[in-house]
Structures are given as C-alpha cells and as structure tokens.
Structure 1
C-alpha cells in the first residue's frame, strides 16, 4: 500500500505538468514520460501507462494503466486504480478498454492501423475458432488477412494483430479468452469466417454450444 500511495502522491504533485504533456516540445515530452514510467516502475516494473488527452470539449485527461496483457499483473493494475485519487481533470482506468469506434469498423469506415511497412484495417480481418480448452475456457483461433502472403508471419505482424484485437475487445477480455492465435491468408471459400469485430459476440454465444463439434464444423467450411 505504501508504494501505491507513493506513486499517487507523486502523480498529484505533478498532474498539471503531465496533463500539459501534449503541448510540450518533444524533448520535454520524453522527459515527462521518463519520470512517469520511473515512478510507476517503483510500484511495479511490469505495468505501463497510456495517456488519452481531452477532445471534443471534454476537460478530463485519462490515465490508463495496462498489464500489457499479462494476467500475472492484473491485480497490481486493479489495486493501483482502486486507490487512485479523485482529481477534477483526470480519469483513471484499469486496462485498455474496447474501442468506442466499433460502428465505424462495422461500416468499413475505420482508419487503418499502420505498423512500419504493414497497413491493416480491423474491418477487413476475419477469424475462425479451431479449438476450445475446457480447463482454461480459452480458444485457439486463426485470423485471416487479405495480404498475409505478402506480409508473411513476422513478429511485427503478430504484434499488430494483437494490438487490433486488444482494441476491439479490450485487454482483459483478450487475454482471458484467447489461448493461441495463428495467422493465415484469407481462403477462396470464405463461408463460415467471422468478422474480427464480432469476436465478443462470438464469445457471448458460446454458452450452451457443443463446442468440439461446433469448432470442427466451422473449420471444415474453409478446408
């Protein structure tokens, strides 16, 4: 508890400087971020932060504390946010939450994600479940990309897919429900493939399904 209080005391003392981060020159931004990370690491080295600045007339900045999807550090994230101070111009959030732009993704009007030489749109990604693990209640899935044969299976591409999935369903849900992700080229027969933006809907509908037969039949549709 002492480490939690130490971090929040420091944050309160510097919250105005942090909130003005977006208006600083790059050198000062780097310096401020260094000290946020440094003070956060005194509490827990394995968690990180994201700052979302106000827009559309909103006066509150948002500090998101993330475990980078590692369940071992979910509790430290929750404990830190549960003990956050009440500050007029700040909102404190545990974990990266699902995007609020899901309607744009469904309509195909979403902005592309750009990762070095890779450009992907969430609205164009599809997936298929291949196995359900009864003990962990997690699923293995294949994510299909239009240009997989062009990109090939690189570490950057894998990271890009996880970032997009995390944005769609949220950090905690992703790592509570996904066991393994394989990447593949979209097949000629697209019957049975599910839009990636419907992943949460897919999870919600799993209850009451004969999972093994269900997964087998879905996978056979694209063989």
Structure 2
C-alpha cells in the first residue's frame, strides 16, 4: 500500500486480463506455412526470402504485439532457425519470450527468443566501411565513486573518428548483442560509449574478456536482489509546485523517503508513464472528470505493482496537458505487461506513452532534487 492508495481508497479491482488465443493463432498459422517457409529459407535467395517469408511474417507478428522483429537462417543443414527479437526495446522482451515459450515442436525448425550469444571468434561486424571484431575492439569500465554498482562500458575502436560517432556506436551495440547475447547486452550494461584508443583514461582490456567481467560484475551486485522497501505507508511524501517555461502550473507529489534512499541500485529499472489529456481550457491541468480517471489509472497500476514485490511508486507530476507517473522496479517484465494492459484499457480515453529503461541510480528523477 502507498500514500496514493490511501488517498484514493475504494475497493481494489484487478486489471482485466486479456482473454485471447493470439499466441496459439500465430503458431497455427506458422505451422500451416512452415514447409514453404523452410524451403524458402533453405534456398537462401534474399529476394525470395523477403517477399515470400519476411513480408508474410511481419503482419502476423504485428497481430501478436507491436515491436517484435526477427532474424532467420539455417541453423544446420536440416534445421531452419527463427530468432525473435525486441530489437533492443526493453518493454517488448517479455512479449518475445512469451511467444517463443509456447512455440510448438516442428520438425526442421528451431525457435529462439532474443539473439543468442556467439563465440568471440565468430563475431565480426562489417559496417560503415569498418570491421568490429576482437582485432579492432578493446574496453575498460569507467569508475563512479558515488555509483559503485554502475556498469559503464567504454569501448575503443582502433579506427574510431568522432565524425562518425553515431555510426560507430550503432555497430558496437550490434557487436555486443551478438557477442554477449541480446539479453545480457540489454540488461547487464548500464551505459556504453565509444572512443579512440589514445583517448582511454584507463588501461584497455581485450574485448574477449568482457563476457567474464560481465559475469563477475553481475555476481557482485546480486547482493541487491534481496533488498526491498516493503511498506511505503510510513514514508514521507512531499508536494511540489512549479511552472513551465510558458508559465503554466506544474504540481507534483513525490515519495521523499525513496528519493533520499541509499539503496537505489536495488531497483534499477525506471518506468515512466506519460498520459496526455486536454488541458487547453483548464490552464494545462486536467478537468475534474479527467482527474478522476487519471487517479483510477494510477490506482490500477498500484493494485498490480506492489512495493513488497519490488515495484515502488515514486510519485507523479501533473501539468501542461500531461500526467507523468514514476515507478522504479526490480525487474521489467511485469511492469511491461501491466503498462501494456493499461494502454489498451484506456486507449479510447487518453494517449499513453510508456518508457522502461535501465536507470540504476534514478538519475531521471534528479530534477526533483
């Protein structure tokens, strides 16, 4: 329970769970076409694969959930592999995992959730006229005295130039997805930057040692797994008032106890929900009806995401046509699903944007002091 639950009161009602056979429908469709798809992939004709497989698969995956992408090829001489990927988007990981988890056994097929890790000797990415491999890449970890558990990876490329920073960084992310595996690349690294070797602030380490260091670092921070903040009832809350650059009012209610907490890294996932409403005739604030519905949405979130389970409601900010809610979480899977249900339940009332990302020290909340 939290301050917001006490404020809203009323009977708890669970979000309606979507009753759908969408996963089963997808795999039934796939089974009906799998022989043709296997033949097409085995033929390895790019134009044919795009026309006869990619163009048919994409709209079917869209029916399951927006933002599921795929890779394909022959795993061995007899087996075609379909790799489903969220393409780096954290909230979509769980929907990829769930779809693959119920995949049927089909002879000649292998289904994989997220890009798997690859032996470093077999990882070589050629992009932007450059090679990204163990021969061209090295790294070190940047130290942060005030953020000891931060995994801040600095990668050096021996041909790096600042003019192509975004291109080099894009290629490094693809390399890391393939080397570490997409899941570890997304969830274990807090930040990644790219430099030239001569700009390194510490001794550079061969990139093939990164995987072991990721394992070691993850083991060190596992001590945080058992840290919980189980009862927000006793926390101190604070109300803040301000205004936008245009002079419109902003009001916020925040959990001051949590903002001052010294165990932030135990809840490393930030979820920000932005709900747009019509505030044109109300000085940027919600109408009374919108206020009530916005509070109902927040209560729905609180009923599903409880502090004892590792989901902490930091507070909310309202003004300039947007209600923003802030949650910090131990994991991202349940928040992703709850947020998706919220978006679908209230899509005819509000436009809702959801962001879930790694923010181990809650720097996204720094504006609240």
Which of the five TM-score ranges fits, normalised by the shorter chain? Answer: 0.7 to 0.9
Q: Secondary structure at the match of 2:175?
A: helix
Rounded to whole Å, the distance in 2 between the matches of 1:3 and 1:184 is: 45
Checking the alignment, whether the CA contact within 8 Å between 1:138 and 1:177 is kept in structure 2 is no
Please name the residue that 1:51 is paired with. 72
Please name the residue that 2:180 is paired with. 169
Please name the residue that 1:77 is paired with. 96
1:125 to 122, 134, 137: 137
Unaligned runs of 5+ in 2: 1-19, 222-369
Q: Secondary structure at the match of 1:97?
A: coil
Cα deviations by residue, 1:66-121 (Å, 9 ceiling, x for unpaired): 1112221111011101110110111111110100x33xx2xxxx574211423322
Rounded to whole Å, the distance in 2 between the matches of 1:50 and 1:79 is: 17
Please name the residue that 1:142 is paired with. 154
Cα distance 1:24–1:142, how it changes in 2: closer, same or farther (>3 A)? closer
Q: Secondary structure at the match of 1:126?
A: strand
Rounded to whole Å, the distance in 2 between the matches of 1:62 and 1:165 is: 21
- Tell me how large the CA RMSD over aligned residues is: 2.8
Checking the alignment, whether the CA contact within 8 Å between 1:124 and 1:145 is kept in structure 2 is yes
Please name the residue that 1:35 is paired with. 56
Moved more, 43-52 or 18-27: 18-27
1:160 to 164, 168, 171: 171
Checking the alignment, whether the CA contact within 8 Å between 1:133 and 1:139 is kept in structure 2 is no
Checking the alignment, whether the CA contact within 8 Å between 2:80 and 2:110 is kept in structure 1 is yes
Please name the residue that 2:215 is paired with. 204
Q: Secondary structure at the match of 2:151?
A: strand
Checking the alignment, whether the CA contact within 8 Å between 1:126 and 1:144 is kept in structure 2 is yes
Rounded to whole Å, the distance in 2 between the matches of 1:133 and 1:49 is: 40
Checking the alignment, whether the CA contact within 8 Å between 1:153 and 1:183 is kept in structure 2 is no
Rounded to whole Å, the distance in 2 between the matches of 1:162 and 1:11 is: 31
Rounded to whole Å, the distance in 2 between the matches of 1:53 and 1:139 is: 35
Q: Secondary structure at the match of 2:97?
A: helix
Runs of 4+ in 1 over 6 A off after TM superposition: 132-135, 188-191
Checking the alignment, whether the CA contact within 8 Å between 1:128 and 1:193 is kept in structure 2 is yes
Moved more, 20-29 or 5-14: 20-29
TM-score, normalised to structure 2, is 0.49
Compute the displacement of 1:48 (Å). 0.6
1:62 to 43, 66, 81: 81
Compute the displacement of 1:130 (Å). 0.9
